[in-house]
């Protein structure tokens, strides 16, 4: 999968820089070519000679080297690659990337590149958990930067916790996943043809629903809304007009998206129907299957009557309702199947039952950490078969899904 691929590796100044040497070796074993850029601080941990020997290419270090500028300027260097990888991505490098600073070769090419960037953070756990670093990470993810790690583990400083750089083979797997999608970055305000949803209306549902029992209690599920919100944000970056119908979540509304907040499944269905017509409907929300037939207007109290009996009735099926609309059915209807067993079997059954065009299935058993987590492993189920993707961040899943939606929509027109 990496045969013939060109990787531009930015090596930051951290003790984990020694892993970059093994990463280069692993990439070249798989047929990729590697050009390396070292920051000044990286020289304190690995030598340019070691990096050059393993990469089989010269090491780029100085922004103002006349020889380098004559042979390959920083603009060309930043674009003559299929993917840019930053490993280790130190707190300082991440801060520069998030804020658009360009005061050395590494930060300048990261700002000038027209390819996607994959970062492998490595730093002390307090630096990683610092609000400034977390803000920078959030900015970079919203900008489309992919991440692998960091892992929990022992550090050179003697502390234990998050901040340890992902192992070289983990980074290789993340590189393969990133290269499975288009890595070309369009200019701001422009879109590549393959990813363009310009002028399209994309309608997305996200998060859980809350079905009231009484004024203070409700039935809900563990959905965080992260995947649905990421899809809405990715669709907006692809040029679409996006309407996001969100159940109660603890994450911010995506930038550039019209977000409508609802509580119950009934509220969500009304909001979806009111937001039609749409070109694409993505039913990501984990809608409660049942609601209490008659919720109490007052808080239910414990007492002599004992435990109350709750009579449940089935909520309307939002996905099936939209998929079967006779007049204004969206051209592409996408459902999600969150399962804890027989994932593919249940997803294939759901595809036929709901009459949608695509089911994105995933395993949400507690041990997977998908519900509420930042990563997801999905399977795309259509009448043509099943396509399984590796574990990716939910941001990366969203980017790849939106690219697929654009392709599927284009094929129907």
Task: Pull the structure tokens for residue 39.
Answer: 């920051």
**Predicted confidence band of residue 192 (pLDDT cuts 50, 70, 90):** very low
Task: Pull the structure tokens for residue 17.
Answer: 């820089």
DSSP-derived pairing of the beta strands 290-292 and 312-314: antiparallel
Cα 104 from Cα 114, distance rounded (Å): 18
**Stated pTM of the model:** 0.56
Task: Pull the structure tokens for residue 338.
Answer: 């969150």
Q: Which helix (H) or strand (E) holds 8?
A: strand 6-11
Please determine, for residue 143, whether its predicted confidence score (pLDDT) is greater than 50.
yes
- CATH code 3.40.50.1950 region(s) in the chain: 6-179
Please determine, for residue 190, whether its predicted confidence score (pLDDT) is greater than 50.
no
Contact 112, 91 (CB under 8 A): no
Choose the catalytic residue: 1, 138, 157, 316. Answer: 157
pLDDT in tens, 9-29: 999 998 899 999 999 999 999
Residues making up the chain, counted from first to last: 413
Contact 116, 146 (CB under 8 A): yes
* pLDDT at position 211: 95
- CATH code 3.40.50.10300 region(s) in the chain: 193-297+308-412
Over residues 147-167, the mean pLDDT reads: 79
Beta carbons within 10 angstroms of residue 231's beta carbon? 31
Over residues 143-151, the mean pLDDT reads: 85
**Predicted confidence band of residue 160 (pLDDT cuts 50, 70, 90):** confident
Q: Is 356 a catalytic residue?
A: no
pLDDT in tens, 361-411: 888 776 766 665 677 888 899 988 888 888 888 888 888 899 889 888 875
Cα 395 from Cα 141, distance rounded (Å): 7
Residue 41: DSSP 8-state:
G
Please determine, for residue 158, whether its predicted confidence score (pLDDT) is greater than 50.
yes
Strands (E), 31-150: 33-38, 59-60, 83-89, 117-121, 146-147
Contact 131, 121 (CB under 8 A): no
Helix/strand/coil for 162: strand
* pLDDT at position 194: 44
**Predicted confidence band of residue 4 (pLDDT cuts 50, 70, 90):** confident
Backbone angles phi, psi at 150, to 5 degrees: -80, 165
Query: What CATH code is assigned to 6-179?
Result: 3.40.50.1950
What is the CA angle 246-316-378, rounded to 5? 55
Backbone angles phi, psi at 282, to 5 degrees: -115, 105
My answer on whether omega of the bond before 327 falls inside 30° of 0, hence cis, is no
* Cβ contacts of 52 within 8 Å, gap of 6 or more: 36, 58, 59
Q: At the top level of CATH, which class does the domain 193-297+308-412 belong to? A: alpha beta
């Amino acid at each position: 999968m990496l045969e013939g691929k060109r990787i531009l590796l930015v090596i930051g100044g951290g003790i984990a820089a020694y892993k970059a040497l093994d990463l280069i070796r692993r990439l070249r074993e798989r047929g990729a070519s590697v050009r390396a850029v070292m920051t000044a601080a990286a020289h304190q941990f690995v030598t340019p000679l070691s990096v050059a020997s393993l990469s089989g290419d010269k090491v780029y270090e100085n922004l103002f080297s006349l020889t380098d500028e004559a042979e390959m300027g920083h603009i060309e260097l930043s674009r003559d690659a299929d993917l840019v990888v930053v490993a280790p991505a130190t707190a300082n490098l991440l801060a520069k990337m998030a804020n658009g600073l360009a005061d050395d070769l590494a930060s300048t090419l990261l700002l000038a590149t027209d390819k996607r960037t994959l970062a492998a953070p490595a730093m002390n756990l307090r630096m990683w958990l610092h609000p400034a670093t977390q803000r920078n990470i959030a900015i970079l993810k919203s900008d489309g930067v992919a991440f692998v790690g960091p892992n929990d583990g022992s550090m050179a400083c003697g502390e234990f916790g998050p901040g340890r750089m992902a192992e070289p083979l983990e980074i290789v797997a993340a590189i393969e996943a990133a290269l499975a999608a288009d890595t070309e970055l369009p200019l701001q305000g422009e879109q590549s043809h393959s990813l363009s949803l310009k002028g399209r209306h994309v309608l997305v549902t996200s998060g859980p629903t809350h079905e009231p029992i009484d004024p203070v209690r409700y039935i809900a599920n563990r959905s965080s809304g992260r995947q649905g919100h990421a899809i809405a944000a990715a669709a907006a970056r692809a040029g679409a007009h996006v309407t996001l119908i969100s159940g109660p979540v603890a994450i911010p509304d995506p930038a550039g998206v019209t977000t409508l907040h609802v509580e119950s499944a009934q509220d969500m269905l009304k909001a979806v129907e009111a937001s039609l017509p749409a070109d694409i409907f993505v039913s990501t929300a984990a809608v409660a299957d049942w609601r209490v037939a008659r919720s109490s207007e007052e808080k239910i109290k414990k007492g002599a009557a004992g435990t109350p009996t709750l009579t449940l009735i089935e909520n309307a099926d939002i996905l099936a309702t939209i998929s079967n609309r006779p007049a204004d059915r969206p051209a592409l209807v996408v459902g999600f199947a969150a399962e804890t067993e027989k994932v593919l079997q249940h997803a294939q059954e759901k595809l036929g039952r709901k009459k949608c065009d695509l089911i994105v299935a995933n395993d949400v058993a507690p041990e997977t950490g998908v519900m509420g987590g930042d990563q997801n492993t999905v399977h795309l189920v259509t009448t043509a078969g099943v396509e399984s993707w590796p574990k990716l961040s939910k941001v990366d899943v969203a980017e790849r899904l939106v690219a697929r939606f654009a392709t599927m929509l284009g094929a129907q027109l």
